[in-house]
Amino acid sequence: MAQTLKTVSRSDVRGTAAGVLFMAFFGTMWAYTGIIGLQGWGDPWLFVASLIVGVALLIGGCLLIYASRDLPNQVPHGDGRRGKKIGFWFNIVFAAEGLAIVVTIAVCNIIGHTEFIPPVIAIIVGVHFLPLANLFQVRIYYLTGVLLCVLPIMTILFVPLNFTLQEHQINAYMFVVGFGSALILWGTSLAIWLMGKRLIGLVSNTLTDEIMHWK
């Protein structure tokens, strides 16, 4: 049991839960972008459905935090320094992402091509996942980043900017990139949640084995 508790700590599970919460929130924001692109088609059901998915994942993340309350907050020797390094580089990546998004919005407005704002922002978000995958040692972030880059590129190359659906003029870039990015981030959120559940299950199984051993 002691070995497992050193491996799985409260901070491990809560870090995983934070990933679930972030993906759930931003996935829902991307879904809202897709809803805006639909120009009223599907209201209000798509909005309600997006909220349900987002809230369900948020609740899942909160439940992981609650489940970690009895775990020891052990920090192995040297992990404190590594935690500071991770925090530093996370702030650098996050700041670079924010700056790139601001520049993208400004440039697209200046040149009069605001339709490219959602796809380019999606690419920026995708690129920012690649260093985070290495930083947090979460391999699924590589897949998330690649998908978020490929989706908008394919959209620009093969999807028309606008099309008509039941008398609604659909902004296809916002619709496809918005809902596509939402699905990618929601899928990542679910995958991370399952990782957190496995961590909790690992501790629970170890505790059960230890109790049976002492009996």
pLDDT digits (tens, 9 = 90+) for 37-74: 999 898 899 999 999 999 999 999 999 999 888 777 76
CA distance 119 to 96: 18
pTM value is 0.88
Residues facing residue 171 across a β-bridge:
162
pLDDT in tens, 116-169: 999 999 999 999 999 999 999 899 999 999 999 999 999 999 999 988 888 889
Cross-strand partners of 163? 170
Q: How far apart are CA 96 and CA 159, in angstroms?
A: 29
Q: Distance between CA 152 and CA 177 in Å, rounded?
A: 6
- Reading the block at residue 165, the tokens are 């659906």
Per-residue pLDDT, 202: 67
Q: What is the DSSP string of 176-206?
A: HHHHHHHHHHHHHHHHHHHHHHHHHHHHHHH
**pLDDT, the chain, mean:** 88
Side-chain half-sphere exposure of 7, counting CA atoms within 13 A: 10
Please check the confidence at residue 182 and state whether its pLDDT lies above 50: yes
> Model confidence at 188, in pLDDT bands (50, 70, 90)?
very high
